[in-house]
Copies of this chain bind each other. A is one copy, B any other.
Amino acid sequence: MIVGILKEQNDPRVALVPIGAKKISGLGAEIWIESGAGDQSYLSDASYQDVATIKPRNEIISTADMIISIKPGGDEVLSAMKSGATVISMFAPYNDDTVVENLKKYPVNAFSMDMIPRTTLAQSMDVLSSMASVAGYKSVLKALEHLPRYMPMMITAAGSIKPSKVLVLGAGVAGLQAIATARRLGAMVEAFDTRAAAKEEVKSLGAKFVEIEGAADDTAAGGYAVEQSEAFLKKQRALVQERAAQADIIITTAQVRGRKAPLLVPQETLDKMKPGSVVVDLAASSGGNCANSKQGEVVEYNGVKIIGDSDLAAGMPQDSSTLFSNNVCNYLAIMIKEGKLDLDMDNQIIRESLISSK
C-alpha cells in the first residue's frame, strides 16, 4: 500500500514529517513524497530519505492508494487518482455543502480529519484542536507584531507603561491558548464565551471572565448550560462591548460549526476603540467575529488594525506540521492493519470522518 504526500499548494506545512513517515512505514505502508514537500517546514528532502521515497507529483497522484494532505487537493489531484483510492484531508464539509457533493464525483473514499468526533478517545487525532492551539498561541504574537505598545507593565526611568488589556472572545481551544500566552507576557486578560464551562476554564488560566450578575442558575441542570433570559443576554452583550472598547488587543475565536461566525465586535465597538489597538479575528474565514475583518488581510479602520486570519497555524509550519503529522499517524493506526486499509465501520471515529465513499 502506497501512501502519498504532496507538496501543499498554498500552505507551508506538510502533512507528514519524517518521524511520522517512519511510523506509517511501521504499519506496513510505503511512503511516497513529492520533492520539496517539507521545505517550508524546514524539512529537507534529505530528511525524508530513509523513511520515504521521493517521487514526482504526477506519479504519486496516479499511483498512491492513499493521499494525505492538509488543505484538500483540487480537481487536479482527485481526478487523476486511482479508482478506489483513499484521500485524507481537512475538507471542512460543515462550512460548505458543496464539498461532499463535489467529492462524490470522484471514485475515491474521502476522509475529513476535521470530522473526527471530539470524543476523549479521538483527541490524539483531533487536528482541529492541535491546529487551534497553535493558532491561539500565534494570534497573540500576531497581535504584538502590530501593537504599537508594550504588553507588560513597565515602570522605568522614562515613565510608567500600563499593561495592555487583552480581551479574548470565544474561549475554546484557540481562545484558551491565547489567554495563556497573553497572560505569560504580562497582559491583563479578560475573556468571554457562551459555554457554561468556559467560565471555570478561563479562570483556571488565571484570567478574568467577563460576567454580569443575574445569570440563570444552572446548578440544577447538571453542568449543562441553561437558556438565559433575553434581558440577561442583552446586558452581557453590552458589557462585552464596553470591555472591548477598553482593550488594546481583542482576539476573537468564536465559531459555531456549520454556521456563519457570530459578529462579536461590530462597527460601533471598533469606533470606540483606541487608535493603535489590534483585533485578531480567527473566525475570519467563516464570516468573521469582527466587522471589517477580511481573511488573510490586515485592515486598518480608524486607527485599529484588524487582522483576519483563520490560518494562523500555517504561520508556525514546523511544529504545526509535526502535530498534524502526529494526528495523522494516530488516525492511520486505526485504519491500516498490516499494510492494508482495514476499516472498522463500527468505530465512531472512522464512521463519522468518512464523508464520501465510492
A positions within 8 Å CB-CB of B = 12, 41-42, 44, 123-124, 126-127, 129-130, 133-134, 137, 141, 144-145, 147-150, 152, 154, 156-159, 161, 181, 184-186, 274-276, 303, 316-319, 322-324, 326-327, 330
Contact = CB atoms under 8 A, between A and B. Distances in A.
* Most chain B CB inside 10 Å of its own CB: which residue of A145, A157, A322: A157
Contact of A148 (B133, B145, B158, B317): B317
Contact of A276 (B134, B154, B318): B318
Given A186-B184, A276-B318, A316-B147, A124 B157 contact: yes
Given A141-B141, A316-B150, A159 B276 contact: no
Contacts of A129: 156-158
B148 A41 contact: yes
Contact of A184 (B161, B184, B324): B184
A275 to B, nearest CB: 4
Contacts of A130: 156-158
Q: Among A123, A184, A303, find the residue whose CB has the most chain B CB atoms closer than 10 A.
A: A184
B152 A133 contact: no
Nearest to A144: B141
A157 B123 contact: yes
A150 B137 contact: yes
B133 A156 contact: yes
26 contacts: A41-B148, A41-B276, A42-B274, A123-B157, A124-B157, A126-B158, A127-B158, A129-B156, A129-B158, A130-B156, A130-B157, A130-B158, A133-B154, A137-B150, A141-B144, A141-B145, A148-B316, A148-B318, A149-B318, A150-B316, A150-B319, A156-B323, A158-B323, A158-B326, A159-B322, A184-B184
A127 B326 CA distance: 48
Contacts of A126: 157-158
A42 B316 contact: no
List the 8 closest A-B pairs by CB distance, nearest first.
A42-B276, A148-B318, A130-B158, A123-B157, A159-B326, A42-B275, A158-B323, A124-B157
A124 B145 CA distance: 27
A338 to B, nearest CB: 25
A157 B186 CA distance: 27
Contacts of A181: 185
A330 B156 CA distance: 13
A158 B320 CA distance: 10
Contacts of A324: 158
A274 B42 CA distance: 9
Contacts of A275: 42, 44
A319 B145 contact: no
A12, A148, A158, A330: which has the most chain B beta carbons within 10 Å?
Answer: A158
Nearest to A154: B133
Contact of A42 (B41, B134, B303, B318): B303
Nearest to A150: B319
Contacts of A147: 316
A149 B303 contact: no
A147 B6 CA distance: 23
A149 B318 CA distance: 6
Contact of A124 (B134, B137, B158, B323): B158
A57 to B, nearest CB: 23
Contacts of A134: 150
A319 B148 contact: yes
